[in-house]
C-alpha cells in the first residue's frame, strides 16, 4: 500500500465523529475545521494541497494540486496529524452538520470514488483529493454539481460526510437508479452518471421536484443521502425570512402569547 494504514471507530448516531488510531509515524489528513480532539503525542502540520504523496514536488505541481481543490469547493490547505510517539495515539474528526460519516476503503473500489463537492472529511495520508469533469454537456449544466465533482484516489481509508440518513445501493450491470441530483453523495468509478428531463407539463410546473433527475447505471455502488444540505439550508432560510404563521385559527395572537412568542 502507498497510503498510510489507519484504524478507526465511528461514534454517535446523527451527530457523528470518527476516531482514527495512529501507530508511530502514521498520518491522517483532514479538512480545516474538522478536528475535534486528539491524544498527546500527535503533531499538527498545515499542508498546501491535499497532502498526497507525489513524486513531483515542484511549486507548480503543488499550485495545480491546490487549484483543483478550490474548484471542488475545498480549502487550499489541509491539516496533517502525525503520531510521533512510539505508542498508539488517537485523533478525532467531526462532521460539520447532522448526518452520517461514510468510511471508504478505496482499495475495495478500484482505488477511486467520485463524490459531491464538500463531501470529503478526512483520510489516510496519501489519498489524493482531485476533480472529476463531467464530459456530457447536459450532465454538467443540470446535474446539480455542475461540470466538476470531487475525486478520491488511493488505496487507503477515506471518510465522507452526508446530511440525513445514508443509503448504500449496489447496482447490477445495466440496472438503472433515478435519483434527485442533490441526494447523491458518491459512486464508484464504473457507474455511468447521466441527467434526464423529468418530462410532462404537470410534472415540470407543479411537481416540485425540479426539472431533472440523475440517472445512475450499474454495475457499481452508489451512496444516497436523504437530506441534501442545500435543501436543509433552504428550509431554514424560509422560516428565518418569513413571518411566523398564527398557530391556531381560534386563538391567533393569544396562542402566540401562551407559547411565549407574543408581545404586549
Show pLDDT as tens, one digit a residue, over the chain (264 residues): 567 888 999 999 888 999 999 999 999 999 888 999 999 999 999 887 666 655 455 556 656 665 655 655 556 778 999 999 989 999 999 988 889 999 999 999 999 999 987 889 999 998 988 877 654 544 444 444 444 788 899 999 999 999 989 999 999 999 999 988 888 999 999 999 887 766 555 545 544 455 677 889 999 999 999 988 777 777 777 777 766 554 444 445 554 544 555 444
The label of the residue with cell 500500500 reads 1
Q: Identify which of 212, 216, 142, 139 has the alpha carbon closest to the alpha carbon of residue 172.
A: 216
Would strands 184-188 and 128-133 be described as parallel, antiparallel, or unpaired? unpaired
DSSP H helices, the chain, are 59-71, 137-142, 201-206, 229-241, 253-258
Q: pTM, whole model, 2 decimals?
A: 0.77
Report the distance separating Cα 92 and Cα 9, nearest Å: 9
pLDDT of residue 29: 92
In what order do the strands lie in the sheet containing 7-11?
A: 7-11, 17-22, 89-94, 35-38
Q: Identify which of 207, 212, 28, 204 has the alpha carbon closest to the alpha carbon of residue 120.
A: 28
Domains of the chain: 7-240 (3.60.160.10)
What nine digits make up the cell of 229?
Answer: 444540505
Amino acid at each position: 500500500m502507498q497510503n498510510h494504514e489507519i484504524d478507526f471507530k465511528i461514534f454517535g448516531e446523527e451527530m457523528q465523529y470518527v476516531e482514527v488510531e495512529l501507530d508511530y509515524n502514521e498520518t491522517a489528513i483532514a479538512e480545516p475545521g474538522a478536528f475535534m480532539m486528539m491524544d498527546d503525542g500527535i503533531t499538527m502540520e498545515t499542508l498546501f494541497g491535499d497532502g498526497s504523496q507525489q513524486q513531483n514536488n515542484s511549486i507548480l505541481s503543488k499550485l495545480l494540486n491546490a487549484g483543483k481543490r478550490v474548484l471542488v469547493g475545498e480549502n487550499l490547505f489541509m491539516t496533517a496529524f502525525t503520531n510521533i510517539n512510539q505508542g498508539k495515539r488517537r485523533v478525532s474528526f467531526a462532521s460539520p452538520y447532522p448526518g452520517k460519516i461514510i468510511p471508504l476503503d478505496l482499495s475495495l473500489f478500484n482505488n477511486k470514488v467520485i463524490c459531491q463537492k464538500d463531501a470529503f472529511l478526512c483520510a489516510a495520508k496519501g489519498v489524493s483529493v482531485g476533480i472529476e469533469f463531467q464530459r456530457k454537456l447536459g450532465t454538467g449544466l443540470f446535474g446539480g454539481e455542475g461540470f466538476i465533482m470531487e475525486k478520491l484516489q488511493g488505496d487507503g481509508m477515506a471518510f465522507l460526510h452526508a446530511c440525513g440518513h445514508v443509503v448504500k445501493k449496489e447496482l447490477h450491470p445495466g440496472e438503472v437508479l433515478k435519483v434527485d441530483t442533490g441526494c447523491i453523495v458518491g459512486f464508484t468509478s464504473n457507474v455511468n452518471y447521466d441527467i434526464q428531463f423529468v418530462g410532462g407539463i404537470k410534472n415540470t410546473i407543479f411537481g416540485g421536484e425540479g426539472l431533472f433527475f440523475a440517472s445512475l447505471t450499474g454495475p457499481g455502488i452508489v451512496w444516497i443521502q436523504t437530506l441534501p444540505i442545500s435543501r436543509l439550508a433552504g428550509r431554514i432560510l424560509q422560516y428565518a425570512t418569513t413571518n411566523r404563521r398564527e398557530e391556531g385559527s381560534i386563538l391567533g395572537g393569544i396562542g402566540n402569547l401562551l407559547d411565549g412568542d407574543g408581545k404586549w
